[in-house]
Chain A
Amino acid sequence: MNLLILVLALCFTSEVYSQSAFQGVVKNSNSGLPIAGVSIENSNTKDAYVSDSQGNFTIQNPTFPIILTFQSIGYKSETKTFHQANSNIEVSLEEENQYLNEVVITGYTTQQRKNISGSIATVQFNEQSQNQADVDALKLLQGKAPGVQISSTSGSPGGGISFLIRGNSSIGGSVEPLYVIDGVFISTHLPVSGGGGNLLSNPIADLNPSDIESISILKDANATAIYGSQGSNGVVVITTKRGRRNSPSRINFHLKEGVSQATNEWAIASGTESGQLLLESWENTAKDNGESLSSYLNRERPTHWNIVFPFSLPNGSPDFTQNNIQNLPTYDRVESLFRSAVSQDYQVSVNGGNEKSNHYIGIGYSNQESIVKPNNFSRFSGRVNYDNQIREKLKVGVSFNLVRTGRENVRNSDNDPTGIIGSAIFPRSFLPIYDENGDYLNHATFNNHLRLIEHLDNSYVTWRNTVNLNGEYTILPSLKFRSSWSYDLSNHNSRSFSDFALSNTGSATASNQINQVFSGEQLLQFVESFNVKHDVDVLLGNTLLINQNQGLNSFGSQYIFDVLREVSSAANTGGGSFRSESRLVSFFGKAGYTYDSKYALEFSFRADGSSRFGKNVQWGYFPALGATWNAHRESFLQNSKQISLLQLRASYGITGNQNGIGNYDALAIWNSNAQAYLDDPSLTPGRLGNPNLTWETTSQSNVGLDLGLFQNRLTFHLDAYYKYTKDGLQAVNVPSRSGYSTAILNYSEISNKGLEFQILATPVQNENWSWTTSFNISANRNKIEKIPQEQTLGATNRGTSILRQGYPVNSFFLYKQLYVDPQTGNAVYDDVDNNGIINYADRQIVGSAEPDFQGGFTQYVTYKNFDLNVFFHFTKGNEVLNMQQYFMVHGGTQNGIGFDKRQLNRWQKPGDITDIPRLTRFNRNPELNNAPANNYLGQVASLSSRYLDDGSFLRLRNVAIGYTLPTQFTRRIGVEKLKATISATNLWTLTSYKGVDPEVSAQSSNQNTAGYDWATIPQPRTIEAIINITF
């Protein structure tokens, strides 16, 4: 509340106008309509002003003559001299080639499009992007930037995201881009990490999307080489809102309430169906064994035989002539898993400025329930961005962000039988949830989902404080020195308690981890034009980066009462601490020359010294070169009526990736444990030293073409790139006899090539109607060029993904099921080496999780005060391995697991055509093809392509319709703008995927095992009501 008063006070102070003011209006020279947001600079005082929504500007206490420069994106700048305060000052600005003058944030600086040879995608964050129900910024980028592949690993709010720019260029290193928020290098340590490679959180969820002005994604080498050994995977530069000078302070309220539901749920076979399937499996097994059903059941007593055959003969032995299948009950666990999840999002912000300073203050609260109980995500955030021209030559600025992100009751890993979803879908559906006393029942290895939902008690709280302080000193008009100091602190606290319902004697953990990133940056920038036609800019800089990670953890077990939930209440307690640090020293420079706005050349260079590298290779050097030709400025096109823009770009450069080398991986170590066997100390060799361990090197060339027609109302943007990474980091398998299983080496090579295409158009723009549309599509082809040896991985050691030379990463490695023999009902697999038996040599690559292409399209239509925004996202050609069906379409071989409804399609009698083979548990002759053992067991062990599905989809990610109350009406009640919006997220999906949701990529903390469906939370469908008010 205090903050609100402060905000209001700030707002009113800047609304005070002086009596002796110089006033005017800025208008479009063509249409005569006023232009809002024009920056106006007073050449005498260097004060800056901005025109309001009606194009009006006011300068207090002017000293005549006054020289004003008017600048606005999309208009030619204009400098005018006024000698006195007339009553009707009107300044007309001429429209200009909009696209090319757009200011783009690049590495360490901002530049105009016309001078940029690199490939940079910029996504503006506006009201439309906030209509989508997602709470984190990265998810809002999905489908909006060509060349960027974003997939969520689950539908839980604040959940994991895999973010790939121009493909996967590393096998063993990280493929995550570098995130820079207002000049601060951001720690990407995960607040919650799951087992089995599951990503349960993403660190950028700490950033409130409402505070974001725009996100620039630097993709090619010329744009990223300035980030050196951190630039290979691309750089995401996030700029937050800052307010503008001399614009009245506005108070914005953004209120959002929503409800989410699952679009699709798991289809589990009923009790009777499960009984039938089990019986059929036993009958077939007995037949394959050459014995009677009763002999088989008597001997083997397969799990739940006594539920299917509960009756006894008079002599007390089981009666195998009558079963109880028709009367088996069905317990629907899936139904009690889901809920209608509510979400709230409240944002208040103030932005504005006076002659010397500008400010943005934003506070926000978001709370989102997961559609699968009982997980919840909440975020409180506060941001203050402030800049002040304290001296004529000295400007200082600050960005301050404090966030509390809370995740309550995060479920276990998806593939964990003790996870909530696993314990709900896997038990056989005829097994009761409670026993006769009303206590939870567990079945097989699975926990009881309601036990977990009702008793789970864990919370992960992150406090994040991101601060940047900077000063800019203008030494000469063309030479500036900038010093910027940043600190990113994230403090992760986690607590969990398992009460007596969850564990036998109770257990608790509590931990605290601090990640700190300090960076200091000194920049010298020279920008000058000579003789009108020659533009030169030079940048020199140096940064120091320290990344520290330390923490404490404690755990307790053996509780007397489970109402006492602290670690200290336990009989047995323990704890530990850890610390780790890395440092990076860098020197860099950049030079650009533009001739007559036609030809531009850029060169950049960076040298990085890293504490992670081996001592033989501590310094890395990363150069890049780029050229641009603005062909539309040539005489032969200058007068073209149609072509308003024709730009050709080319760049080449070398970048590095050091993300993925552990902080001390180059050093040989021995590990010691103070209490090993019989509580005496132990000492074991931990790692062999590698003094040559170093960054991965990626060279990338990029060519681009931008074409604009009809005053750029229709523009086409095409980029083609080729990336080649060598010295790729990989945990290479070494011979087991060495005593080690893997060693991290710089060895592998990998290439990515691709095309990115984008169309932006404004087909209609008049007084009542406007229609803007954008479409983007990109395709990336990934290929492993060199690898020490094949490596299989994924699906918890099932080796279903393979790294093989000549194929993309994330290729699925399975036995290819050709068909189910209609006569025998047995699966027939592709016998690759034609030797008549099925063994490991017959496993082959049968698809890949890499999409052929992916993209999105947006339509934004306004009619008078109505607006409609429609956004589709699509991906095509990627395969998904459905592990949920792998487990639940098991032919009766999984002793404790029920059946997915897909199992009902099994082969039953000669002539049946299906892809689900005959049920059997027979296991002899595991190597024969078209034999019962290999249906679900045998050498194939169900690692069959029948569980591999096409994961292509087209999804209506967001549709929102809004109405803005007429300004003349709202102004009367003191409101500048009042808008109501109804928004729907994930309303409709087109897919042939057989599982619940094609948009899954669990286990993607490892970039080489994407495309697995472990029964994660599906993407929810969310309906929201949104109100925006501006005072």
Chain B
Amino acid sequence: MKKISLYTLLFLSICLASCEKFLDLKPTNALLSENAIYDAKTSRAVVNAAYSNLKNYYIQYDLVLGLLPGDNIFFGGSQSQNIELDNHAFTVTNSAIVGAYQANYSLINLVNWAISEIPKVEDPQLSVAEKNKLLGEAHFIRALAYFHLVRSWGGVQLQLQPTRDLNSLGDIPRSTALETYNQIFKDLKLAEDYLPNDDASTRNRIQKSVVYGIRAKVNLYAGNYDQVEEDANKVIENPKYKLVTSYSDFFQVPFLSSESVFELSATANNTGVSASPWLPSTGTPRGSYEFRPTQALIDLVNNPEVGGERSTLLGKRGDDYYGKLYHTLNPSLNSIYVLRIADLYLIRAEARILAQNQNISGALTDVNLIRQRAQISPLPESLTADEILDAIHNERRLEFALEGDRWYDLVRTQKAEEVLGVQPNFWLFPIPQVDILGDPSLKNSQNPGY
């Protein structure tokens, strides 16, 4: 008996000593670290992840938020978050709205890490020039993410530090829309300073022109019409960018046409927008036909005096019209078009009307360039400023019919009630219920109407 107890004790003590080692297990598929940015390789990878996440954001959220509430596309599937968007019933638990909000902040956290850690990296492999380029990209992506937030939710919480642990999040109330725009301009300025000048061919990474182009667009949204022209000119005058001859050229393989100021490219491993929800459910190739053109859009693009060559955006199979902008399948290699030179012409045109020093003829020239390219007759010079403005808005509807701008354009131009019957209270999406409940800084700061 004694002997046995002794053995047992011995066994227990041996085990106890080795227990700690026995219980120490590590995963084999992830880096174990509080902070994994420490050299050239990891610095590049964290910024590249931001590109990747930005692309995913556009694919998964920006398209549905920009298109479904608009009047170009309706939803033919059964997912209720999309039915809600289609019917302008924006609920605080809508998974597309919640997911988009979270995806932007997740992207912001990622670039916050890059902005905070890359300057500390000491690695001979990482030149100052490259460091600056990475920082410029990070600042730009942060600006773009805040732009997505401000145009969808209004002024939001400005989170500018990486999250190291949840207890140090601090109290950050919502900023005003103006404050959010100011932060965006601050980041864009830093991006401009850090980024290298354009090379002759890159269109799927951020360079200085991308910053100018986006700043022109943000200024249009922020109502700073006087500040649009200068940035837009810098891009338009750059010979690297010009309108493609035929409208449909910009979305043909291998993409990256001269039209493109910034597009997010796909590869077989890192796929792009899927054609599946656009393609009809009968015939080949088969899709799920969830995003369907409305009758209004079908009529508009097929009207040779209105749509012109933009009829190439839609195809027809049997009785079914379907969108063809995103057409590759297995694998989906379709790019996301963040900014096209056509957009800059129309942005400049709109700003020229709205700026203090109105430039009506300049605006008309810009919009007619776009109409000409679409093979439709130019607008007559007899039009009033307001008529030109309406024409620009109508042009935007068709020119970017299947890109994610329609809803935001209607809200920006305050036409969402007139065109869609949506009251101004619902022009901003609701802050997700999980944040209202889970973040003390958001107490009583839900958007009106929800």
Say whether A associates with B: yes
Residues of A within 8 A of B (CB): 299-301, 303, 306, 417, 426, 435, 441-446, 475-476, 479, 481, 504-505, 522, 524, 540, 542, 544, 557-558, 572, 578-583, 585, 587, 609-611, 618, 663-664, 667-673, 675-686, 688-689, 732-741, 743, 788-792, 796-799, 839-840, 887, 893-897, 923-927, 933, 937-939, 941-942
List of A residues within 8 angstroms of B23 by Cβ: 583, 585, 609-611, 618
Cα separation A350 to B74 with both chains bound (whole Å) = 67
Residue from the list B45, B163, B423, B438 in contact with A672, Cβ < 8 A: B45
B284 to chain A, nearest CB (A): 7
Chain A to chain B: the 9 pairs with minimum beta-carbon distance, closest first: A739-B109, A682-B49, A797-B95, A735-B439, A683-B45, A670-B36, A669-B30, A677-B51, A442-B281
Instruction: Report yes or no: B44 in contact with A663, Cβ–Cβ below 8 A.
Output: no
Residue from the list B4, B77, B80, B288 in contact with A798, Cβ < 8 A: B80
Residue from the list B42, B269, B288 in contact with A675, Cβ < 8 A: B269
Cα separation A734 to B319 with both chains bound (whole Å) = 48
Given A476-B1, A735-B441, A737-B159, A677:B52 Cβ within 8 A: yes
Instruction: Report yes or no: A686 in contact with B105, Cβ–Cβ below 8 A.
Output: no
List of B residues within 8 angstroms of A426 by Cβ: 78
B397 to chain A, nearest CB (A): 17
A632 to chain B, nearest CB (A): 37
Instruction: Report yes or no: A735 in contact with B87, Cβ–Cβ below 8 A.
Output: no
Instruction: Report yes or no: B76 in contact with A444, Cβ–Cβ below 8 A.
Output: yes
List of B residues within 8 angstroms of A441 by Cβ: 282
For residue B440, which residue of chain A has the nearest CB? A735
Residue from the list B42, B78, B205, B290 in contact with A897, Cβ < 8 A: B78
A313 to chain B, nearest CB (A): 18
Instruction: Report yes or no: A733 in contact with B282, Cβ–Cβ below 8 A.
Output: no
Cα separation A672 to B95 with both chains bound (whole Å) = 26
Instruction: Report yes or no: B296 in contact with A299, Cβ–Cβ below 8 A.
Output: yes
Instruction: Report yes or no: B1 in contact with A475, Cβ–Cβ below 8 A.
Output: yes
> B1-43: which have CB < 8 Å to A?
1, 4, 8, 11-12, 15, 19-20, 22-34, 36-37, 41-42
Which of B192-200, B209-217, B337-345, B427-435 makes up part of the contact surface? B427-435
For residue A582, which residue of chain B has the nearest CB? B25
List of A residues within 8 angstroms of B288 by Cβ: 417, 445
B178 at the interface (CB under 8 A from A): no
B84 at the interface (CB under 8 A from A): yes
For residue A587, which residue of chain B has the nearest CB? B12
> Quick one: CB contact mask for B86-113 with A, threshold 8 Å, 1 for yes?
0111011101001001100110111011
B241 at the interface (CB under 8 A from A): no
List of B residues within 8 angstroms of A739 by Cβ: 105-106, 108-110, 112, 159, 162-163
List of A residues within 8 angstroms of B326 by Cβ: none
Given A557-B330, A684-B49, A895-B76, A736:B110 Cβ within 8 A: no
> B47-105: which have CB < 8 Å to A?
48-49, 51-53, 55, 74-81, 83-84, 87-89, 91-93, 95, 98, 101-102, 105
B377 to chain A, nearest CB (A): 26
* 20 A-B contacts (beta carbon < 8 Å): A426-B78, A442-B286, A479-B4, A540-B8, A581-B25, A611-B25, A663-B25, A667-B27, A676-B48, A676-B270, A677-B270, A678-B204, A681-B44, A688-B165, A689-B165, A736-B434, A738-B166, A743-B166, A799-B433, A941-B91
Cα separation A540 to B12 with both chains bound (whole Å) = 11
Instruction: Report yes or no: B81 in contact with A445, Cβ–Cβ below 8 A.
Output: no
Given A444-B289, A475-B1, A524-B4, A788:B27 Cβ within 8 A: no
Instruction: Report yes or no: B89 in contact with A839, Cβ–Cβ below 8 A.
Output: no
List of A residues within 8 angstroms of B22 by Cβ: 544, 583, 585, 611
For residue A926, which residue of chain B has the nearest CB? B89
Given contacts A683-B37, A797-B95, 19 further A-B contacts (CB under 8 A): A444-B76, A504-B286, A585-B19, A585-B23, A669-B31, A672-B30, A676-B269, A683-B36, A736-B102, A736-B434, A737-B159, A739-B108, A790-B437, A792-B93, A893-B87, A896-B76, A933-B89, A939-B91, A941-B84
List of B residues within 8 angstroms of A686 by Cβ: 30
B301 at the interface (CB under 8 A from A): no
Given A735-B439, A796-B79, A444:B281 Cβ within 8 A: yes
List of B residues within 8 angstroms of A735 by Cβ: 169, 435, 438-439, 441-442
Cα separation A578 to B30 with both chains bound (whole Å) = 11
For residue A934, which residue of chain B has the nearest CB? B89
List of A residues within 8 angstroms of B105 by Cβ: 736-739
List of B residues within 8 angstroms of A942 by Cβ: 80
B177 to chain A, nearest CB (A): 17
Cα separation A441 to B318 with both chains bound (whole Å) = 13
B388 at the interface (CB under 8 A from A): no
A491 to chain B, nearest CB (A): 20
List of B residues within 8 angstroms of A679 by Cβ: 267, 269-270
Cα separation A848 to B204 with both chains bound (whole Å) = 51
Cα separation A522 to B7 with both chains bound (whole Å) = 12
Interface range, B side: 35 or more
List of A residues within 8 angstroms of B77 by Cβ: 417, 444-445, 895-896
Cα separation A306 to B321 with both chains bound (whole Å) = 14
List of A residues within 8 angstroms of B41 by Cβ: 681
List of A residues within 8 angstroms of B290 by Cβ: 445
Cα separation A891 to B438 with both chains bound (whole Å) = 36
Instruction: Report yes or no: B25 in contact with A738, Cβ–Cβ below 8 A.
Output: no
Residues of B within 8 A of A (CB): 1, 4, 8, 11-12, 15, 19-20, 22-34, 36-37, 41-42, 44-46, 48-49, 51-53, 55, 74-81, 83-84, 87-89, 91-93, 95, 98, 101-102, 105-106, 108-110, 112-113, 157, 159, 162-166, 169, 172, 204-205, 264-265, 267-270, 281-282, 284-286, 288-290, 294-296, 319, 329-331, 421, 423, 426, 432-435, 437-439, 441-442, 449-450
List of B residues within 8 angstroms of A442 by Cβ: 281-282, 286
List of A residues within 8 angstroms of B108 by Cβ: 737, 739
Cα separation A792 to B434 with both chains bound (whole Å) = 9
Instruction: Report yes or no: A675 in contact with B270, Cβ–Cβ below 8 A.
Output: yes
Instruction: Report yes or no: A670 in contact with B159, Cβ–Cβ below 8 A.
Output: no
List of A residues within 8 angstroms of B26 by Cβ: 664, 667
A887 to chain B, nearest CB (A): 6
List of A residues within 8 angstroms of B29 by Cβ: 578-579
List of B residues within 8 angstroms of A796 by Cβ: 79-80, 95
Point out which of A735, A798, A896 has the most chain B C-beta atoms below 10 A from its C-beta. Answer: A735
B129 to chain A, nearest CB (A): 18
A574 to chain B, nearest CB (A): 9
List of A residues within 8 angstroms of B162 by Cβ: 685, 739
Cα separation A887 to B45 with both chains bound (whole Å) = 44
B446 to chain A, nearest CB (A): 9
Cα separation A669 to B171 with both chains bound (whole Å) = 26
Cα separation A673 to B28 with both chains bound (whole Å) = 13
Given A306-B319, A524-B8, A611-B23, A737:B89 Cβ within 8 A: no
Residue from the list A300, A444, A734, A798 in contact with B295, Cβ < 8 A: A300
List of A residues within 8 angstroms of B166 by Cβ: 688, 734, 738, 740, 743
B317 to chain A, nearest CB (A): 12
Instruction: Report yes or no: A683 in contact with B296, Cβ–Cβ below 8 A.
Output: no
Cα separation A840 to B42 with both chains bound (whole Å) = 44
B168 to chain A, nearest CB (A): 10
Instruction: Report yes or no: B25 in contact with A504, Cβ–Cβ below 8 A.
Output: no
Instruction: Report yes or no: A676 in contact with B24, Cβ–Cβ below 8 A.
Output: no
Cα separation A475 to B329 with both chains bound (whole Å) = 72
A262 to chain B, nearest CB (A): 24
Given A670-B36, A684-B49, A896-B76, A678:B83 Cβ within 8 A: no
Residue from the list B106, B267, B331, B421 in contact with A678, Cβ < 8 A: B267
List of B residues within 8 angstroms of A445 by Cβ: 76-78, 281, 288-290
Cα separation A840 to B436 with both chains bound (whole Å) = 12
Cα separation A741 to B450 with both chains bound (whole Å) = 21
Instruction: Report yes or no: B15 in contact with A542, Cβ–Cβ below 8 A.
Output: yes
Cα separation A554 to B73 with both chains bound (whole Å) = 37
Instruction: Report yes or no: A504 in contact with B284, Cβ–Cβ below 8 A.
Output: yes
Residue from the list B24, B282, B295 in contact with A299, Cβ < 8 A: B295
